[in-house]
Amino acid sequence: MALPPLDSPQWSSSWLAFGWGLRSVTQTILTLVLFATYLGIGALAHDSHFSLLWALCSTLFVWAGPAQIILITTLGSGATVIQSAIAVTVSAIRLFPMVVSVLPLMRTPTTKRRELFFAAHLTAVTLWVECHRFLPQVPRERRIAFVNGLGFGLVSVCLTANTVGYFLAANLTQTLGAAILMLTPLSFLFSTARNSREAADVVALALGVLLYPLAAKMNSGLDILVSGLVAGTIAYGVHWWREVRA
Amino acid sequence: MSYAQLIGDWQALVVLFVAGVVPNQIWRMLGLWFGGGIDEGSELLVWVRAVATAILAGVIAQIVVQPPGALASVPDGLRYGAVAAGLVVFLLTRRSIFAGVVTGEVFMLAGKWWLG
């Protein structure tokens, strides 16, 4: 499926643009990755004793895979609400520059801030990547509708995947249930590695994985925060050192 | 499937909003309100992104090292081996997420089957 040319009557209304956004969900391999990830999140929620409604609400209102996994994993392993909230909010800071950089792509001189509300909510790494790919082919005054359609489609795919994953975890044999839970670490490890552009990103990812087991031995309840802060700061040090030398 | 599994209790939903929705959403809304004038390459944001990546890496490690539910039935070595095998194929295929995930899964299932 190719998007119609910029001057085509196919862009004459917001609803048509919404429809093109919705159909674009089928045009990206990332939809498949999201499906697998949210299948895993549904299964993770089941095996961590959360309800299906809870899992669906987390997808609808949080709409950020890393934050959802951090939330389920920390709450599920007995962290307090405050500890989980801190880990989630640190993981979510990256959404700020994403929103800041993606909204100008769809803003026109007459755009009101509230018209961008859903686009801001839907912004996460997948949408951010796809906006940069698709939006140049969409007339500027139809871009908000297009993004809302694309986001609506992606959220629907993920809610479906959550439900399927939840029921599979409840009904499958232990081995297949384990396979679905394993989707989460694998898909996040590789999609984060793929998005790593700088040496600092790679160091943060590798050290973050390696330092966690050490931090967990301290048994402070803040394991994830401790290993994340230490590994992230070392990674930043590597970035800084390379900049100074360059 | 019971009522508790489908709906759960309202306290859990309150925790979801306090620990999950608000701390996550606040950054998007700040981006919406104060967007513009923020340099994506600024030093503070580089550090923040590194810490956020490392936290996510820690969570990935936690799921593999201290697995929840059914994943705990898979021996330690097999889980680590699955991640390692997936990583090798991911790198060999010029960073194909799909190839890495499929390899990790096949490795784990084959190992489980072979071990009986």
ipTM: 0.85
Test mutation, A49, A58, A86, A93, chain B, max B CBs within 10 A: A93
- B94-107 pLDDT tens trace: 999 889 999 999 99
Q: What percentage of chain A reaches a pLDDT higher than 70?
A: 98
Task: For residue B116, give how far its alpha carbon lies from the nearest alpha carbon of chain A (Å).
Answer: 11
Predicted TM-score (pTM) of the model is 0.81
**How close A17 comes to chain B (CA, Å)?**
22
Q: Which residue has the higher pLDDT, A177 or A238?
A: A238
For residue A100, what pLDDT band results from cuts at 50, 70 and 90?
confident
In this prediction, residue B35 carries a pLDDT of: 67
Mean of per-residue pLDDT scores for chain A: 89
Please give the structure tokens belonging to residue A162.
């959550």
Instruction: Please give the C-alpha separations between residue A234 and each of A42, A237, B78, in angstroms, as whole numbers.
Output: 33, 5, 30
Burial class (CB in 10 A: 0-12, 13-18, 19+), A78: exposed
How far apart CA B56 and CA A188 sit, in angstroms, is: 8
pLDDT over 90 (residue A109): no
Backbone φ and ψ for B59, nearest 5 degrees, come out as -70, -40
Share of chain B above pLDDT 90, in %: 53
What is the structure's pLDDT at A27?
A: 84
- CB–CB of A231 and B70 under 8 A? no
Given a cut of 80, whether residue A221 has pLDDT beyond it is no
What would the two tokens of residue B110 be? 């084959």
Among A214, A191, A220, residue whose Cα is nearest residue B56: A191
- Look at A27 and A142; give whichever has higher pLDDT: A142
pLDDT digit string, tens, across residues A131-177: 878 999 999 999 999 999 999 999 999 999 999 999 998 888 888 88
For residue A164, what are its two tokens? 């399927």
Is B46 in Cβ contact with A54 (below 8 Å)? no
For residue A122 the two structure tokens come to: 């839907």
Distance CA A22, CA A171 (A): 32
Give the mean model confidence (pLDDT) for residues A87-100: 83
Chain B residues near residue A211 by CB distance under 8 angstroms: 54, 58
Judged by CB atoms closer than 8 Å, whether chains meet at B69 and A193 is answered as no
Take residue A25 and report the two structure tokens written for it.
């969900």
Reported confidence tier of residue A220, pLDDT bands at 50, 70, 90: low
Judged by CB atoms closer than 8 Å, whether chains meet at A53 and B6 is answered as yes
Q: What is the pLDDT of residue B40?
A: 53
Residue-by-residue DSSP string for B43-103: HHHHHHHHHHHHHHHHHHHHHHHS--GGGGGS-HHHHHHHHHHHHHHHHHTTS-HHHHHHH
Looking at beta carbons, which residues of chain A come within 8 Å of B90?
Answer: 190, 193
Q: Given this model, what pLDDT does residue B62 score?
A: 86
Tens digit of each residue's pLDDT (9 = 90 or more) over B2-34: 777 788 889 999 999 999 999 999 999 998 987
Say how far apart CA A90 and CA B112 lie, in whole Å.
Answer: 36
What is the pLDDT of chain B when averaged over all its residues? 88
Nearest to B7 by CA among A57, A238, A131: A57
Q: Which residues contact B110 (CB under 8 A, 6 or more apart)?
A: none
What are the angstrom distances between the C-alpha of A28 and each of A22, A66, B36? 12, 20, 29
Domain ranges of chain B: 1-37, 39-67, 74-116
pLDDT digit string, tens, across residues A44-93 = 999 999 999 999 999 999 999 889 988 998 898 888 999 999 989 988 88
pLDDT band of A218, cuts 50, 70, 90: confident
Residue A77 Cα, gap to closest chain B Cα (Å): 9
Q: Which residue has the tokens 């309100």?
A: B33
Spell out the residues 6+ positions from residue A171 whose beta carbon is closer than 8 angstroms to its own: none
Amino acid found at A19? G
pLDDT of residue A53: 96
pLDDT over 80 (residue B38): no
Asked whether the predicted pLDDT for residue B37 surpasses 60, the reply is no
| Bigger pLDDT: A198 vs B78 | B78
